[in-house]
Chains A and B, each alone.
Chain A
Amino acid sequence: MEFVSPEGLRLDGRRPMEMRQLRAELGAVSRADGSAIFEMGNTKVIAAVYGPREVQHRGQQLNDKALIRCEYTMANFSTGDRMRRPKGDRRSTEISLVIRQTMEACIMTHLMPHSQIDIFVQVLQADGGTRSACINAATLALADAGIPMCDLVTSCSAGYLNTTPLLDLNYVEDSAGGPDVTVGILPKLDKVTLLQMDAKLPMDIFENVMQLATEGCKAVANYIREVLMENTKQLENRRGV
């Protein structure tokens, strides 16, 4: 199957180095301390953050840092065929672990000992790149909650089909069986926190694809900063500054 036409267009009309359209909204869940909806093309994800608050299970309390908990779920209606997903299935558990450890790298947990921060992420529409969208949404939600972070974490995926590196794969391109590289970076520090890859790739091509994904992450970071600036201006207006 041809994923890149001879003119250089992908299945949805994008160029190989082009990202999908991004859209973000803060404060979607009014009850939560911080929340955000993040869309990357057709992938739509909602994140809610509760914290810092009292630790619910005293035995799990950490004396020098905040305890971070994360839960990733996919709504039953998120994929094409409505599937009843078991809550603790392996993929969800692994992605929850990955998101938690990624956010732990950027949250300044030593400022909030004996407390707990909960991050809940749910996928409303899944069209490839759900992991990346979840991390971006979690970053926005944490910023909305006012939790101190040393840097934003942004994430993007890239692949390699028809001998072309492609940025931001959608579901069709992802399920084609080609390699899928998901990268999460700290943009200001220019460091890689999350890196996941599956399927085979020769090492030099891998370097190109990782570089492309990192560029995509930086583009997402610029967009997130704009959104946060806009939000802060609105808050200033409401306060009458």
Chain B
Amino acid sequence: MEQRLANSLIMTVNEKKFIESALLSDIRVDGRRPFDYRNLTIRFGSEDGSSEVQLGQTQVIGFVTGQLTQPYRDRPNEGAFSIYTEFSPMADLSFEPGRPGESAIELGRIVDRGLRESRAVDMESLCVIAGKLVWSIRIDLHIIDNGGNLVDAANIAALAALSTYRRPECTLGGEDGQEVIVHPPDVREPLPLILHHFPVAVTFGFIGKENTVVIDPTHYEESVMGGSMTATLNTNGDVCAIQKAGGDGVLQSVIMQCLRIASVKAGDITSKIKNAVESYNTQRSLKKIKRHNPDQHHSSDVAKNHMERLTVGSDQSVTGSQFNEPDTTNKRNSTLKSFSGGPASWDPYSKGVDGDELRTSLASRVAPVDKQKEESSQVNPETKSSPKSSDTNSLASINKVGSEIKQSKTLKDAVKPKHKRRNKSNAK
């Protein structure tokens, strides 16, 4: 079974004749014209460097990971990358689990040739220490559903995954500058890969004795076609790779015509990929803003504004700044409410620092602090210094509040971890 094309179905003679004769009148079985692509959807996973591409009924998942390795001996200052394909048996009846078959290897090599030889991925930027440590990028392509034309979909998945992958930043440190420190993503922002251009694969099928050319064949058309050609092009007008592995012979003029059509289609697909990647990047940066922890500085600002509002009535010297501050307090309050990050997102046992709660707890502590403030305000007419002195007090109060909240939780926590430890020791 390995001998046949993995995409071949057993089709009746009638079905084959139907497809061929329909093509004589420029009609394809799914209603497309000969040079139309199917619908392309590109989605991204939750992690950087994972993509899911759907081209008609074909679905491919791409995943990019990186690790530090030794470079090749003949290329000491270049990174490495490798492509692994897996034709999952759920995608098609003829795919078998285990070692990749012929078509899986061919697909891997076509995608590899398009990216490697045309120098689409910048390898030299992946070098950390020349001759010793480089980044090795691994691209995994999983075929989920075989609806025909796996090469194009897999290529798009690889490009989309490479565009959104971020590798951790690493710096040289240590005594002699030879030690490599890899910074985790929350300490330093991970870096994207440098892609010089996007090599897009476009597959043509040659069907019938008259060699009718169709673009993006479905799996029915693939079982009927006599030959196929995959052209990998970029938008700069370069041909990056061509694979026509035997099959029916075609005239040279037909090949050049196919290449011209392919360059137009490559432009379309490249713009679609770029749009999808851009929207993913904007979403990602929005998430980054919300994810910031409410550090002491932030909460002290909150406290400062609350204190100022509370002291407005008591201290007349604040009225001058009253007009300035309410705007910022409103802004800060609104950001507080819309801010969905904070400890609630990473600490499952905390309710987070609630603004209202803070205010009520601070109000209860306002009385002793107020007296101190009035004295200091008389000495210093500046309103900004008084919030500072109240700041430290409010800081302390917030800390007390926070610790109280935490203390009330840790009593329960104290019980659970012990159980966990016992379970672990029992398991051991």
Taking a contact as CB atoms under 8 Å apart, the answer to whether B246 and A194 are in contact is: yes
Taking a contact as CB atoms under 8 Å apart, the answer to whether A98 and B245 are in contact is: yes
Taking a contact as CB atoms under 8 Å apart, the answer to whether B247 and A207 are in contact is: no
Q: Answer whether residue B49 sits at the interface, using C-beta atoms and an 8 A cutoff.
A: no
Mark A178-196 against chain B: 1 for CB-CB distance below 8 A, else 0. Answer: 0101001110011111111
Closest to A64 in B: B13
Taking a contact as CB atoms under 8 Å apart, the answer to whether B239 and A203 are in contact is: yes
Task: State which size class the interface on A falls in.
Answer: 35 or more
Taking a contact as CB atoms under 8 Å apart, the answer to whether B249 and A193 are in contact is: yes
Chain B residues with CB under 8 Å of A59's CB are: 1
Chain A residues with CB under 8 Å of B251's CB are: 190-192
Q: Answer whether residue A104 sits at the interface, using C-beta atoms and an 8 A cutoff.
A: yes
Q: Answer whether residue A90 sits at the interface, using C-beta atoms and an 8 A cutoff.
A: yes
Taking a contact as CB atoms under 8 Å apart, the answer to whether B227 and A94 are in contact is: no
**Complex-state Cα separation, A206 to B234, whole angstroms:** 14
Contact residue among A97, A102, A199 (Cβ-Cβ distance under 8 Å from B106)? A97
Chain B residues with CB under 8 Å of A60's CB are: 1, 3
Chain B residues with CB under 8 Å of A194's CB are: 244-246
Task: State which size class the interface on B falls in.
Answer: 35 or more
Q: Answer whether residue A54 sits at the interface, using C-beta atoms and an 8 A cutoff.
A: no
Taking a contact as CB atoms under 8 Å apart, the answer to whether A210 and B102 are in contact is: no
Taking a contact as CB atoms under 8 Å apart, the answer to whether B240 and A200 are in contact is: yes
Taking a contact as CB atoms under 8 Å apart, the answer to whether B244 and A90 are in contact is: no
**Complex-state Cα separation, A88 to B108, whole angstroms:** 15
Taking a contact as CB atoms under 8 Å apart, the answer to whether A105 and B3 are in contact is: no
Taking a contact as CB atoms under 8 Å apart, the answer to whether B255 and A90 are in contact is: no
Q: Answer whether residue A103 sits at the interface, using C-beta atoms and an 8 A cutoff.
A: yes
With A60-B1, A105-B249, A210-B252 given, is the CB distance from A200 to B239 under 8 Å?
yes
Chain A residues with CB under 8 Å of B119's CB are: 200
Closest to A69 in B: B3
Taking a contact as CB atoms under 8 Å apart, the answer to whether A202 and B255 are in contact is: no
Mark A49-78 against chain B: 1 for CB-CB distance below 8 A, else 0. Answer: 000000000011000000101000000000
Taking a contact as CB atoms under 8 Å apart, the answer to whether B109 and A94 are in contact is: yes
Q: Answer whether residue A18 sits at the interface, using C-beta atoms and an 8 A cutoff.
A: no
Task: Give residues of chain A (192-238) contacting chain B, Cβ–Cβ below 8 Å.
Answer: 192-203, 206-207, 210-211, 214
Q: Answer whether residue A114 sits at the interface, using C-beta atoms and an 8 A cutoff.
A: no
A155 to chain B, nearest CB (A): 11
Taking a contact as CB atoms under 8 Å apart, the answer to whether B248 and A193 are in contact is: yes
B411 to chain A, nearest CB (A): 60
With A94-B105, A214-B252 given, is the CB distance from A102 to B246 under 8 Å?
yes
Q: Answer whether residue B256 sits at the interface, using C-beta atoms and an 8 A cutoff.
A: yes
Mark B90-102 against chain A: 1 for CB-CB distance below 8 A, else 0. Answer: 0000000001001
Task: Give residues of chain B (79-137) contacting chain A, Cβ–Cβ below 8 Å.
Answer: 99, 102, 105-106, 108-109, 113, 117-119
**Complex-state Cα separation, A161 to B144, whole angstroms:** 41
**Complex-state Cα separation, A60 to B2, whole angstroms:** 9
Q: Answer whether residue A93 sits at the interface, using C-beta atoms and an 8 A cutoff.
A: yes
Sorted nearest first, the 4 A-B pairs with minimum C-beta distance are: A101-B246, A191-B249, A102-B246, A195-B244
- Other A-B pairs beyond A190-B252, A200-B240, A206-B239, 13, CB < 8 Å: A60-B3, A90-B108, A90-B109, A94-B105, A97-B105, A101-B245, A105-B246, A105-B248, A193-B249, A197-B241, A200-B119, A203-B237, A207-B256
Q: Which residues of A contact B (CB under 8 A)?
A: 59-60, 67, 69, 88, 90-91, 93-94, 96-105, 177, 179, 181, 184-186, 189-203, 206-207, 210-211, 214
Q: What are 7 A-B contacts defined by CB distance under 8 Å? A: A94-B106, A94-B109, A103-B246, A192-B255, A193-B248, A195-B255, A200-B238
Q: Which residues of B contact A (CB under 8 A)?
A: 1, 3, 99, 102, 105-106, 108-109, 113, 117-119, 227, 229, 234, 237-252, 255-256, 259-260, 263
